Amino acid sequence: MLQVLLSGLAIGAIYGLVGMGFAIAFYVTRVINFAEGQLLMVGVMVAAWLARTGLDPWLAVVVGIAAAAAVGAVTYLVAVRPVLAFDRFSFAWLVSTLGVALILENGAALIWGPTSRSFPALLTGTSVHVGSATLTLQEVVTIGLAVVVAIAFELYRRKTLFGKLGMAIAHDPEMATALGANTAVVAAAAFALAGAFAGLAGVLIGPITYSNPYLGDTYGIAGFVALMIGGTARPAAAMVGGLLLGILGEAANKLINTQASDWFPFVVVVVILLVLPEGLFSLVGPLRRLVLRRSRRTSPVRVAG
């Protein structure tokens, strides 16, 4: 079971990064970018293509992440901002972002071909043994980097001026605009950051699997489920949701069959929507109030005298 746990954390870290991409875009604009999985594909395909042309693989990885971030910003400017400007309360962005996903997917298949290609190895060396479990160095780095990125983003969101501005726009965009905030710039930056998260996930999973124009479908669905598990109140909660989904998926593969992870995310999201439609972190507030209430009851009463 230790192997299942660690392998689940490795793949769950990828789900969590994509889920955080979903969450960041939604947090600022209240729009779910259904092209998020395809941004992962852009990152891995661009990096793999540049590495095959002779560019240093590590530099190719940086360019791949930057390409995903750029496409994320363009997605907002072309497919989201005009829709919100016309009617902020409509769901036309659902169709427009799905359209972007189809364009990116089919465009990549046209440019690079529909077949799978190998991704250059980035981290080579002996496997890492943890008790009875074994992980590759790539998987260890994936887990550690994903957790560090999630913590760093949460600190950035809470401590920096730009992060607080994003929180203000998420809470009340009209008031933020009235106070002089450039909501379009902040929203475009949020989509770019979401694209960078997806691109990072792509270049982390690429050496473990492959590069393929249709890679975004699988990880896009898993990232969306990670968002549903963690909830939309805190973008970093999607990382927790992704890690949990990865562990549950690996357990399903072990206990049911090796194809269980293909349909298991759908079961998880249905259960979450039925039981906790606002995600697991919606329990934090009630639990905190319950603990405070009990601590007040059990605290000693001091009598002045």
Give the tens place of pLDDT for each residue, 151-163. 999 888 888 877 7
Confidence band for 87, pLDDT divided at 50, 70 and 90: confident
Instruction: Give me the residue spans of the domains in the chain.
Output: 2-298
Confidence band for 188, pLDDT divided at 50, 70 and 90: very high
Give the per-residue pLDDT at 298. 61
Q: Is the pLDDT of residue 278 over 80?
A: no
Q: What is the average pLDDT value for the chain, to the nearest integer?
A: 84
Please check whether residue 65 is in contact with residue 196, taking contact to mean a CB–CB distance below 8 angstroms: yes
Q: Is the pLDDT of residue 130 over 60?
A: yes
What is the distance between the alpha carbons of residues 23 and 194, in angstroms, rounded to a whole number?
8
| Nearest in space to 139 (alpha carbons), one of 41, 51, 42, 207 | 207
Please check whether residue 245 is in contact with residue 286, taking contact to mean a CB–CB distance below 8 angstroms: no
DSSP 42-69: HHHHHHHHHHHTT--HHHHHHHHHHHHH
Give the per-residue pLDDT at 65. 97
User: Which of 22-26, 78-82, 221-225, 252-256 is predicted with the least confidence, judged by mean pLDDT?
Assistant: 252-256
pTM of the model: 0.86
Other beta carbons within 10 angstroms of residue 208's beta carbon come to 15
CATH number of the domain at 2-298, out of 1.10.10, 1.20.140, 1.20.1630, 1.10.3470?
1.10.3470
Residues 285, 286, 292, 293: is their CA dihedral positive or negative?
positive
Please classify residue 284 by burial: count the beta carbons closer than 10 Å to its beta carbon, then call 0-12 exposed, 13-18 middle and 19+ buried: middle
What is the distance between the alpha carbons of residues 34 and 272, in angstroms, rounded to a whole number?
20
Q: Is the pLDDT of residue 33 over 80?
A: yes
Phi and psi at residue 62, in whole multiples of 5°? -60, -45
What is the distance between the alpha carbons of residues 301 and 237, in angstroms, rounded to a whole number?
38
